[in-house]
Amino acid sequence: MDTKDTKHSIEVCFSPALYGLHHNPESVVVVIDVLRATTAICTAFINGATEIIPVGNTEEARLYKQKGFLVAAERDGNTLDFADLGNSPFNFTPEIVANKSIVYSTTNGTQAINMASGAHKVLVAAFLNLSAICNLLAAEKRSVVLFCAGWKNKFSLEDSLLAGAIAEKLIASGTFKTECDSAHAAMDLWSLAQSNVLDYVEKAAQRHRLRSKQLDDVLEYCFSVDITEIVPVVAGNKVVI
């Protein structure tokens, strides 16, 4: 554990393929997949879900479905044929998710959650819970890894922006520091984007993917800041609150 009188370090990991370079069993890891997995997970809990079981591969998700679970599963933005829900936060309505356990498998986000499971604690972040995440990280008093799920191991702008927003808040609090180039880059990108994030993300590849599939109704919602105090956390093989 970090000592009391030292500032805690922040690292930003831009891709699951780089996570091995940042993994530290003593760190708190924050998983970020703004468009759309971690935004959808926060939404599920806002709307009363009791737990989420992230699964990496679609076959495992299919087996859960056969056992009677409510299953959300997508690849490349498309809801899988056997699944009850896809990856849109708007799928996770109170009518559907309240008091339910949900099995969830996505292209990037749920796999990142499972990769991070060896860390001291794993939190799930979205713009929706930005301040709540930062408050919890400040209370943890540990080094932090902001883990961007990206897109099939590639760097993604929107995840980097949220990492930058979190890093900036933590450093402004006075108890964190960073010597990580990725963290500096993420904060600088956030400084350019924050006055109009929706305009900024017009150039993001995932923005184009969602538009081309007519799945971009969620855009404004996914960049809504601080609409919840909920911070989902990994406990064993589940995400809970």
Residues found near its own copies in the complex (CB under 8 A): 14-15, 17-18, 21, 151-157, 160, 179-182, 184-185, 188-189, 191-192, 203-206, 208
The answer to whether the Cα torsion of 138, 140, 144, 146 is positive or negative is negative
- In this complex, which beta carbon is closest to its own copies, that of residue 5 or of residue 179? 179
Q: How far is the CB of 79 from its own copies (least distance, A)?
A: 24
- In this complex, which beta carbon is closest to its own copies, that of residue 1 or of residue 192? 192
- Residue 178 Cα distances to 18, 20, 30, 133, 188, angstroms: 18, 18, 16, 18, 13
Contact, 148 vs 159, CB < 8 A? yes
In this structure, what are the phi and psi dihedrals at residue 205, rounded to the nearest 5 degrees? -60, -40
Q: How far is the CB of 18 from its own copies (least distance, A)?
A: 6
DSSP strand pairing (70-75 vs 101-105): parallel
**Residue-wise over 132-167: b if at least 16 C-beta within 10 A, else e?**
bbbebbbebebbbbbbbbbbeeebbbbbbbbbbbbb
- In this complex, which beta carbon is closest to its own copies, that of residue 128 or of residue 180? 180
Q: Which tokens hold the place of 194?
A: 């924050």
Q: How far is the CB of 84 from its own copies (least distance, A)?
A: 31
Q: How far is the CB of 203 from its own copies (least distance, A)?
A: 5
Q: How far is the CB of 81 from its own copies (least distance, A)?
A: 28
